C-alpha cells in the first residue's frame, strides 16, 4: 500500500470577515477538495475556511485532528498511522503557513522519519511579506519568534542583538504591540538603525512603514491591536 502525502496548506492571514476567495490560488482549492482528513490548529476556523472556499465541501465526511501545544503523542501517532495507511492529510494553522511560528513542525518531523512525502503549497506568510516590503536586508535575516513577555527580559533580549548584523524579525500578540514598539524605540542603538512595522498584512487595515529610530522617536505612533511583524536592521 502506498503511503499518503502530508499537504501543508497556507490559509489567509487577515481577519475572517475580510476573507475573499479570489485571493486563494485555484490550484490550492483543487488540492484541498481532494482531502477529507486534516490536522489543524483550530477545528472551528478550519471548518469555516473549507466552507468558504467551497460551500459544497462535505464537512460531515471529514476528519479533523487537533494539533496545538497541548496535543499528546498518541494523537500525532494517529495522524502518522493515517498517512501510513494511504490517506492524504492536510495541515492548517489558524492563519498563514503551518510550521512557521505555528503548529506543523512536529508533524513534518515525524513524517520525514517515516519517509512520508510532504507537499508544501503556495500561500501567504506574514513573515516573508513583511520582509519583502520592508526594504531591509533580505539576504541575511533571522526570525526570533516572540520577544520575552517581561519588560526587563525583553529589553535585555533587544540589547543582546545590537552587535548582530542582518534583519531581525519578531512577531507579537496584538495587545502587546505598543509595549514592544516602545521598548524597541528606546533601546535600539544607534539611532540610525531602521525599524519596520508591518500590521494587518493583506487586510483592510494593512500598514507597512520603515524608518530610522531617530525619526520614530520624533513621532507619536500608536499601534492598533492588529497582528504585527517587527523587523529591525
Tens digits of residue pLDDT in 85-118:
999 999 999 888 888 878 889 999 999 999 999 9
Looking at the chain, the domain(s) classified CATH 3.40.1010.10 span: 6-120
Confidence of residue 44 (pLDDT cuts 50, 70, 90): very high
Top-level CATH class of 126-232? alpha beta
CATH fit for domain 6-120, picks 3.40.1010.10, 3.30.930.10, 3.40.50.970, 3.40.50.720: 3.40.1010.10
Task: Report the sign of the C-alpha dihedral through residues 203, 205, 208, 212, in that order.
Answer: negative
Q: Write the CB contacts of 3 (distance below 8 Å, at least 6 apart in sequence).
A: 83, 84, 86, 114, 115, 116, 117
Confidence of residue 27 (pLDDT cuts 50, 70, 90): confident
CA distances from 148 to 39, 158, 163, 227 (A): 29, 10, 19, 17
C-alpha cell at 186: 528606546
Confidence of residue 150 (pLDDT cuts 50, 70, 90): very high
Q: Is the pLDDT of residue 155 over 90?
A: yes
Residues across the chain:
233
Confidence of residue 12 (pLDDT cuts 50, 70, 90): confident
Looking at the chain, the domain(s) classified CATH 3.30.950.10 span: 126-232
The reported pTM is 0.86
* CA-based R_g, the chain, Å: 20
Instruction: Provide the CA 151 distance to its chain's centre, in angstroms.
Output: 24
Confidence of residue 178 (pLDDT cuts 50, 70, 90): very high
Whether the CB-CB separation of 197 and 164 falls below 8 Å is answered with: no
Q: What is the mean pLDDT of residues 164-168?
A: 94
| Largest distance between two CA atoms of the chain | 65
Residue 77: phi, psi to the nearest 5?
-65, -40
Q: Is the pLDDT of residue 17 over 80?
A: no
Amino acid at each position: 500500500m502506498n503511503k499518503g502525502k502530508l499537504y501543508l496548506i497556507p490559509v489567509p492571514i487577515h481577519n475572517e470577515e475580510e476573507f475573499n476567495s479570489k485571493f486563494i490560488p485555484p490550484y490550492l482549492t483543487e488540492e484541498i477538495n481532494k482531502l477529507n482528513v486534516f490536522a489543524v490548529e483550530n477545528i472551528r476556523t478550519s471548518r469555516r475556511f473549507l466552507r468558504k472556499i467551497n460551500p459544497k465541501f462535505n464537512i460531515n465526511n471529514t476528519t479533523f485532528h487537533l494539533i496545538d501545544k497541548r496535543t499528546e503523542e498518541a494523537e500525532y501517532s494517529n495522524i502518522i498511522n493515517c498517512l501510513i495507511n494511504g490517506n492524504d492529510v492536510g495541515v492548517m494553522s489558524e492563519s498563514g503557513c503551518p510550521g512557521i511560528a505555528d503548529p506543523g513542525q512536529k508533524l513534518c518531523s515525524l513524517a520525514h522519519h517515516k519517509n512520508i512525502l510532504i507537499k508544501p503549497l503556495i500561500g501567504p506568510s506574514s513573515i516573508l511579506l513583511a520582509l519583502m516590503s520592508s526594504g531591509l536586508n533580505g539576504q541575511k535575516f533571522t526570525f526570533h519568534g516572540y520577544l520575552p513577555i517581561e519588560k526587563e527580559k525583553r529589553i535585555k533580549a533587544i540589547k543582546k542583538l545590537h552587535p548582530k548584523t542582518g534583519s531581525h524579525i519578531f512577531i507579537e500578540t496584538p495587545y502587546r504591540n505598543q509595549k514592544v514598539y516602545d521598548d524597541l524605540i528606546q533601546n535600539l542603538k544607534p539611532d540610525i538603525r531602521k525599524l519596520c512595522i508591518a500590521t494587518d498584512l493583506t487586510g483592510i487595515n494593512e500598514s507597512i512603514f520603515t524608518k530610522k529610530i531617530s525619526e520614530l522617536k520624533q513621532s507619536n505612533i500608536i499601534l492598533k491591536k492588529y497582528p504585527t511583524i517587527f523587523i529591525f536592521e
